Amino acid sequence: MNIETKGTIRDFKDLRAWQEGHVLVIDIYRATKTFPKEELFGLSSQMRRCAVSITSNISEGFSRTSYKDKIHFYVMAHGSLTELQNQLLIARDTDMLEKLIFDKLYERSISVHKIISGLIKTSRNHDSLRLNS
């Protein structure tokens, strides 16, 4: 059981969104190792940057003091994730990713997308409660 399910979140690593996003980052790095060498500074690099951006924005959002700022960074993480999903489709359609690997990565991206959506919704609810107090 992770700390988040117990209700105690002490740093960004305790966020389920960051944890699942981190697994996705590692999976993307492993998958892109098999890409053709000519893609080192192309799609491979773009996918890695997008994946890293997801968890980087989650961690930066966590450190912000206002919910408005937190939400901004969580939404940026969402955008990076959507960009990564597009790149996964390109990698699949250009035969750089095998179907099984694509399916695994895409399913994980959908899962992370849902978790980040929940993080955004929770942050918005906290912001609304704070404003209405």
44-72 burial, b at 16+ Cβ within 10 Å, e below that, comes to: bebbbebbbbbbbbbbbbbeeeebeebbb
The mean pLDDT of 92-106, rounded to a whole number, is: 97
DSSP string across 20-74: HHHHHHHHHHHHHTTS-GGGTTTHHHHHHHHHHHHHHHHHHHHH-SSHHHHHHHH
pTM across the whole model: 0.88
pLDDT surpasses 60 at 128: yes
The full set of domain ranges for the chain reads 13-132
CATH class of 13-132: mainly alpha
Which two structure tokens, joined as six digits, stand for 114? 């849902």
- 107-121 tens-digit pLDDT: 999 999 999 999 999
- 29-82 tens-digit pLDDT: 999 999 998 887 899 999 999 999 999 999 999 999 999 999 999 999 999 999
